[in-house]
Every structure is written in C-alpha cells, then in structure tokens.
Chain A
Amino acid sequence: MSQFLSNYRDFLKQATKSDKYHGFDVRALVRVEPMLSFLFHDWWRVEFNGLEKLPKEGSALIVGNSGSFLPWPATMLLYALMSSRVNPRRVHIVADMDWIKDERLFASFLELGFVPFSSANMKRLFAKGELVAIFPEGAAGLARPFSARERLIEFDWVKLLPAVEEGVPIFPIATLGCDEAIPVLTNLDSIAKMLNLPSFPITPFFPWLPFPFNLASLPTKWNMSILKPLSYEKAEDRDLIEETSMKQSQFAEGEIQAELNRLLRQRWRAK
C-alpha cells in the first residue's frame, strides 16, 4: 500500500476527489495493480500514444474498439491513465453489465471503476467533469472471430448520445493487438442463450483449461493511440442531436479503423 501511495500520488489526489457513486474503491486497484502493470509493461508491452491530447481537467469521452473475449483494452486504458506521469486521471468505463448475475463479480467490476451503461449515469458523470470511456461494439466485439480481427463491428450510436447532448469532446482510441491476444475460434450462440450470456466464445484456452489458465492470453505487441477529438457542434433540437450522434459514431468508427489499418501496415512493412 505504501509503495502504491508513493508511486501513484498524483493519481490518488485525483481519485479521492472523483465520483464514487457506484462504489469505486482504490483498494481494489491496489490489489490488481501488480497484475495490470505486468500485463501492460511485460506481457503486451503496450505502446501508448497521444495521452497528452486528453484534457487535464473537465469531462471527456473516450470511444474505442473492444478486444476479443475479455475487456482487456478497457483495463489497459485504465492502467495507462492511472500510471501516467503527465496526465494521471481516473477513467470511468461505461459498459453493458446487466448480464452479470453474480453480485460479487458485479461489485468487483464496480470497484475497479466500471459503471453500468445508462444515459442518466453518463450525464451525471459528465456534469461532475469526469473522464468516461465507452466501447460501443459491446458484446459483439468480444466474440469477434479471429478471421475478422481488427475489423470493427458497427458502433451503437445510442451510446454516444449522452455525450453529444452535453457537448462533451469525444476522443477515439485505437487498440491494435487486442484481437490477436486471445484468438476467438468460434462463438456458440446456443450455449450462450442457455447460460444467459451475451456470447460464448471458444478460444484455444477458454473452456478447456482449468480456471486461471482458461483466461490466458498470448503475448502480442499492443499499440494504443488516442486520436484527435471529433469536431461537432452542440445541438439543441432532438432530431439534430440524434443525427449528429449517428454521424459522429460512424466517423469515430472510421477513424479507429483507418488508424488500425495504418498501424497494421506499419507492422507488416517494417523491415
């Protein structure tokens, strides 16, 4: 704990002031910090660019592509923002969490800084000047097959609606490597329906190996880059807001996909 205090002093100052309505607990972060640090620095060697683009204070929305099988990009973003020397900030990760029936699991997600998706929740966070991240592909992104890796699934524009209503700046973030870290071979819909899960992906590890090993991943090289914010005008009219939201979500998706294409070309053509 003391080590954590000295390492993350700036972050803790910020986190103590931040919104804790949903049960955020720094002690949970202290517990998982060694694992996140190992994954970030040693396992995936994440190359993080564009952190200085984020505002130091005030609300902003980060929109990204979700990796396959587990929401690792969200936690890596959390860690990157937490450990940054330049711009340490707490990020609220908004996600669809209704399918988590186990209360303890649900609570542990909330302790890390996850927030269930709803328009009211997001607006409240924006009003308090918090940094929010969202991964609008949702559960479909987690079950993305390996053959379609680094190809985005259409963004759900409704998830950008609260941000557009409030006129909050939107930053796309592209994550390369998260789809290859856990190759999803296939998705069994019938079993997912039976177990009331959004998807049931089969990976080389997942249902086969005993518990901690079935969540294993491959040590791929990750590249995360925050892109320049989308430019749009805050509208008052309801129809206009919806149209803007739809357009901006499509544009954000395009920006992320184009950045992924660029990064992939760099990777393949590097000598």
Chain B
Amino acid sequence: MREVKELTWKSLEKLKDPVKAFSNRCPLYYERYAGKEDEFGYSLETFAKWEPLFRFLYEEYFQVEIRGIENIPGDGRAILVGNHSGLLPLDGAMISMAMCNLHQNPRRIRYLSTDWFFHLPGLSNWVKETGQVRATKDNAQKLLDAEELVGIYPEGIRGVGKPFNERYRVLDFHPGFVQLAIATQSPLIPVATVGGDEIFPEFVNLHKVARFLQMPFFPVTLGFPWLPAPLMFMPLPVRWMINIHKPINLGYPAEKANDRKLVMKLTREVQYEIQRDLNKLLRERRSTLTGWDEAELDGELPKP
C-alpha cells in the first residue's frame, strides 16, 4: 500500500517538474543548453515540457526507423536538407527527437520556418521556444555563424500541403540553401523521410477557403474539418523511415554563391539524390503500416 502511494507521488513530482525529468533523461542535451540566452527565443523549459509527447510519437506511434544519425556532426555548423511532408510538419520534430535522444553529442536543430507560424496568436511563441526561426537569409547566416545545426526544407510550405496522390513526389527545390551553404562554407546533409506524407492523407485542398482564412492551404483529410478538435489532428500510425545521407562538402569559395548556374545545378543534384532515395525506400517497403522487414533492412536477406 505504502509503495503504491510513493510511486504515485513520484510520478506526480515528475509531472510537476518536466525540466528535472528531462535533465535526468538527457543530461548531455540539458547541460549544453541550460541557462543560456538565445537570440531567437529558444526555451529549454518549453522543449522539455513538450518532448515527452513527441518522443511518444517517435518511439511508440510512428516507430521511426532512423539510419545514418552518425552522419550529423556533434559540433560545428551544418545544414540539414529534406523532403517536406505531412500537413502538420512532424518530420522536423522527429529528426529533432532523434538528435536529442539517440545522438552521441545531442544538439538542437534550428528549423527555418515560414512566417505564417509566427503570425498565429497562440502558436507563435511556442514555435519560437521549441527552436524554430523565421526563414530569412540574415537569420540563417547568424545561426550558422554561431555554429548551429540549421534545418531547411527547400520545398517550402507547398511541400507540406501535397495531396495524397502526389506523396513522395518532391517539388523543385528552392536554391537558397545551396547559396547559403557556399556563402557560409557549411556542409549539406540530405535527409529522406518516408512516412510523413501518409499520416494525414489529404484528399482535396480548398484554395478558396484557404485564401479566405489566410492559411497556406486548407486540406480535407480523413479527420480534419469533420471531427472535434483533438481528434482532427490525429495522425495515422504509419511506420516512418528517416535516412540521413553522408554530408556533402561543396568545397567552392564563398564568392561562388552568386554563380546562379552552379547553384542551380547543385540544388538539382541534392533534390535528385533525395528523390532517388525516396523511390528506393518505397520500393523496399512491404506495407504502409508495418514498414520494412527488419532482416531486409539489416541487409541479411537478398532483396526480391
């Protein structure tokens, strides 16, 4: 009887102080960022408060399979480039979770996100406090000069609102990230994410409603405008796979950032690398919900 009481008390304590629980679980991450001022409004308290939810999604709900996490450097500047997906952009959050929980030198990822999030009354502070930064050239340059890990989804908001029949068909990348990489001499790390495009199957995008509500898109999904509030944001339990490629050191001098032809070519190369990897992962996948065969993933069985 006594024991049970103690247990409940302890769990209540944990609930009361999520930061303490977080510091016990991820001491390296906590030490790295505790008590440090951040120009863009990052707050470790908010991150610690919300981390359990996203960790649940990562570990239990989506059962994310991650490959090549060691390709992300523990220190120094780098740019993560990926394919965007999934109406609610959970793909970035999933990589953040992996960096926080699985990496040897856990570190935060600063995603450059669209202005729209920063205009939302309820959400703008939360977005800032969990590490997102308004996507401008100056901000990105500042972050990279501070040796941060910057995440960019060059498809932009169009990539998030892909209809279901266009899933895993990468839109043409905006060349800004290559310009940034050359100008700041930072390596590019391509990331291919499979699973994100199927968590919210978007059947129709109602442009007129979106324009009226000043939203980037207004999707109609299985749950979205129909069900009551928390249920409409309920994703499908799709198995995820995140494949992080080897870093690409471009090796061009900083003046080359204005060479449009070169920048465009490098952009296309990165885009095609991600698209090719998506095609390969989709080909190897057995089914949407169960994902890949473990033995096949480990390379034990020959592929069909």
Give A residues with C-beta under 8 Å from B: 148, 151-154, 189, 250-251, 253-255, 257-258, 261-262, 264-265, 268
- Collect the chain B residues with CB atoms within 8 Å of residue A154's CB: 276, 279-280
B166, B276, B282 pick with most chain A CB within 10 angstroms: B276
Q: B282–A148 contact, CB under 8 A?
A: yes
> In the complex the two chains form, what is the Cα distance from A93 to B163 in whole Å?
37
State the Cβ distance, A186 to closest chain B Cβ, in Å.
11
Q: A253–B280 contact, CB under 8 A?
A: no
List B265-292 residues whose CB lies under 8 Å from chain A. 268-269, 271-273, 275-276, 279-280, 282-283
Residue among A189, A250, A262, A264 making CB contact with B272, cutoff 8 Å: A250
28 A-B residue pairs with CB within 8 Å:
A148-B282, A151-B279, A151-B283, A152-B276, A153-B279, A153-B283, A154-B276, A154-B279, A189-B304, A251-B272, A254-B268, A254-B269, A254-B273, A255-B268, A257-B275, A257-B276, A257-B279, A258-B170, A258-B268, A258-B271, A258-B272, A261-B169, A261-B171, A261-B275, A264-B166, A265-B166, A265-B169, A268-B166
Residue of A nearest to B165 (CB): A268
B172 interface contact, C-beta 8 A: yes
Residue of A nearest to B171 (CB): A261
Q: B166–A254 contact, CB under 8 A?
A: no
Q: B282–A258 contact, CB under 8 A?
A: no
Q: B283–A254 contact, CB under 8 A?
A: no
How many residues of B are in contact with the other chain, CB < 8 A?
Answer: 19
Residue of A nearest to B162 (CB): A265
> In the complex the two chains form, what is the Cα distance from A251 to B218 in whole Å?
35
Give B residues with C-beta under 8 Å from A: 163, 165-166, 169-172, 268-269, 271-273, 275-276, 279-280, 282-283, 304
Residue of A nearest to B280 (CB): A154
- Collect the chain B residues with CB atoms within 8 Å of residue A153's CB: 279, 283
Number of A-B residue pairs at CB separation under 8 A: 54
Check A268/B304 contact, CB under 8 A, given A258-B275, A261-B170.
no
- Collect the chain B residues with CB atoms within 8 Å of residue A258's CB: 170, 172, 268, 271-272, 275
State the Cβ distance, B221 to closest chain A Cβ, in Å.
17
Q: A251–B269 contact, CB under 8 A?
A: yes
A253, A257, A268 pick with most chain B CB within 10 angstroms: A257
State the Cβ distance, B162 to closest chain A Cβ, in Å.
9
> In the complex the two chains form, what is the Cα distance from A265 to B275 in whole Å?
16
- Collect the chain A residues with CB atoms within 8 Å of residue B166's CB: 261, 264-265, 268
Residue of A nearest to B170 (CB): A261
- Collect the chain A residues with CB atoms within 8 Å of residue B163's CB: 268
A148, A189, A258 pick with most chain B CB within 10 angstroms: A258
> In the complex the two chains form, what is the Cα distance from A183 to B304 in whole Å?
20
